[in-house]
Amino acid sequence: MKKIALMHFAYPPNIGGVEGMVKEHAEILTNLGYDVTIITGSGEEKNPAIKLVVIPELQSVLSFNPFLQEKILDKGVIDDDFYKLADTIDQGLERALEKTDVIIVHNMITIVRNLPFVYVFKNFVKKYPKKKYFGWIHDHSYINEFQIKDLDKIVNSKFERELLTTPIKNLKYILISESFREPFIQLMGLHDGETVVIPNGIDINHFLEIDDLIWGIIDKYQLLKKFPLILSPVNILERKNIDYCLDIIHELKKTYPEIGYVITGKPSSHRSTVEYYDRLKKKIDDLGLKDNVMFFNDFLNRALMRSEIHDLYQISDIVFFLSKSENFGLPLLEAALTKTAILVSDLKVFREVGGEFVKYLDYRTVSPEKAAEIVKNFIEQSLRVKLNYRSRTQYDLKTILKEKFIPLL
């Protein structure tokens, strides 16, 4: 098991975008089986699987010695006070990183907040060349709005400029976007091959607060990669018209081969309902939809809780609620409150609930082919649906780390 150290000026509960990202990286890497240690100037960690080493001198120098920071940056003076702080940092790093295989520094080597650290870290990399080093760069003090600043106006010492613009040998620079990489390599005198772009992402599970059971199913069956992902939050009853929905899914699959269709409910114990369920299963086989349709009843012996159904709404692109009869229509309200598109049958009670704000479809007169065309037109015109799919497939943080970072180790 590789021992990985993640380094940043601060760590949660300190507030900051990079602070939060480092914590998410730590949790994901730990769950992937790595031995993770956080090395930071300030922070707390309650997860016993993640070690935390606090070295106060790794914080922004401004937070604990503003006079030294002013002397370094504003006056360009590098004197005994600088090297005394550097010695303290060096001793802390020697202890903290002694048994570490991989060291990932987030932002600290490209920001002016703690130049003694940058000085020490560069020497540390030279001293221990067998370790693996990454600089995960979110910002650079000399780049603003993708433009390199006028260094002659803002830098007051050659020493500072060299620290922040001389590449560290034996360290791989990771940039968070192609847009940022362009000015960065220009500033640092690097080539494209000496850097790699790994975009930021979102830990979708945590961000959406998805229940563990639902996330386990989403992950196991790769539901985030299904498109469009269609949900029917209904029990398996003939009046729910699932067979008609399957015909629509079959038509949509011609355009969207990775379509997913999820039915949340269960059949009753009545013979007619069980027979209907069996007919649906046969129809799925006949239509070639085994890889596209999921009944929660197949692997869950209980009804879903409200919070679990809510999670499925959140990840779905469209809800199909095409019942032949209902006395109300809660899924209309659930879809509305989760901002999930919904297609419903043209029932009087649905119009009572949804008014003019819902797309209605008369299953008795609209063929599955025509219904599929309606759905396809909606998808192709919906920027929200397309952005949701792009976000969940290209910017899921766990997937990004597994596919783009882990191979670098």
* Pairing between β-strand 143-144 and β-strand 147-148 as defined by DSSP bridges: antiparallel
- pLDDT reported for residue 123: 98
285-302 average pLDDT score? 93
- pLDDT reported for residue 400: 97
Say whether both 252 and 134 belong to one domain.
no
Q: Residue 87: pLDDT band by 50, 70, 90 thresholds? A: very high
Q: Does residue 405 lie within any of the structural domains?
A: no
Q: Does residue 402 lie within any of the structural domains?
A: no
- Please give the Cα distance from 31 to 171 (Å, whole number): 25
Say whether both 211 and 196 belong to one domain.
no
- pLDDT reported for residue 14: 96
Q: Residue 380: pLDDT band by 50, 70, 90 thresholds? A: very high
Q: How many CA atoms lie within 13 A of 154 on its CB side?
A: 11
- Please give the Cα distance from 210 to 315 (Å, whole number): 10
Q: What is the pLDDT of residues 224-252, one digit of tens each?
A: 999 999 999 999 999 999 999 999 999 99
Helices 66-73 & 80-96 angle (0-180, nearest 10): 110
- pLDDT reported for residue 355: 94
Say whether both 133 and 282 belong to one domain.
no
- Please give the Cα distance from 356 to 341 (Å, whole number): 14
Say whether both 77 and 135 belong to one domain.
yes
Return the CATH number at 127.
Answer: 3.40.50.2000
Say whether both 224 and 132 belong to one domain.
no
Q: Which of 185, 200, 215 is the last residue of a domain?
A: 200
Q: What is the pLDDT of residues 207-216, one digit of tens each?
A: 999 999 999 9
Say whether both 180 and 38 belong to one domain.
yes
- Please give the Cα distance from 232 to 254 (Å, whole number): 20
Average pLDDT in the chain: 96
Q: Which residues pair with 293 in a beta bridge?
A: 261
Check pLDDT > 90 for residue 268: no
- pLDDT reported for residue 115: 98
101-122 average pLDDT score? 98
Say whether both 213 and 179 belong to one domain.
no
- Please give the Cα distance from 361 to 354 (Å, whole number): 13
Say whether both 158 and 105 belong to one domain.
yes
7-33 average pLDDT score? 96
Q: Residue 114: pLDDT band by 50, 70, 90 thresholds? A: very high
363-371 average pLDDT score? 97
332-338 average pLDDT score? 96
Say whether both 123 and 70 belong to one domain.
yes
Closest alpha carbon to 26 in 55, 43, 2, 51: 51
Say whether both 31 and 76 belong to one domain.
yes
Which structural domain range is residue 194 located in? 3-200
SS3 256: coil
**C-alpha dist (Å) from residue 263 to 54, 237, 243, 360:** 49, 11, 12, 20
| Backbone CA torsion sign across 15, 18, 22, 27 | positive
Q: Does residue 404 lie within any of the structural domains?
A: no
- Please give the Cα distance from 128 to 106 (Å, whole number): 19
Check pLDDT > 90 for residue 16: yes
Check pLDDT > 90 for residue 274: no
- pLDDT reported for residue 367: 98
Q: Which of 200, 234, 261 is the last residue of a domain?
A: 200
Check pLDDT > 80 for residue 21: yes
- Please give the Cα distance from 85 to 16 (Å, whole number): 25
Q: Does residue 23 lie within any of the structural domains?
A: yes
Say whether both 188 and 234 belong to one domain.
no
Q: What is the DSSP letter of 2?
A: -
Number of structural domains in the chain? 2
Q: Residue 299: pLDDT band by 50, 70, 90 thresholds? A: confident
Cβ-count burial 245-277 (b if 16+ within 10 Å, e if not): bbbbbbbbbeebeebbbbbbbbbeeeeebeebb
Q: Does residue 406 lie within any of the structural domains?
A: no
Say whether both 122 and 224 belong to one domain.
no
Q: Does residue 126 lie within any of the structural domains?
A: yes
Q: Does residue 72 lie within any of the structural domains?
A: yes
Closest alpha carbon to 345 in 315, 324, 330: 324
Helices 158-165 & 115-127 angle (0-180, nearest 10): 50
The pTM of the full predicted model, rounded to 2 decimals, is 0.89
End-to-end CA distance of the chain: 12
Closest alpha carbon to 230 in 376, 363, 350: 376
SS3 260: strand
Q: Does residue 152 lie within any of the structural domains?
A: yes
Q: Which of 175, 200, 225 is the last residue of a domain?
A: 200
Check pLDDT > 80 for residue 270: no
148-174 average pLDDT score? 96
**C-alpha dist (Å) from residue 307 to 207, 211, 230, 239:** 15, 7, 18, 25
Check pLDDT > 80 for residue 409: yes
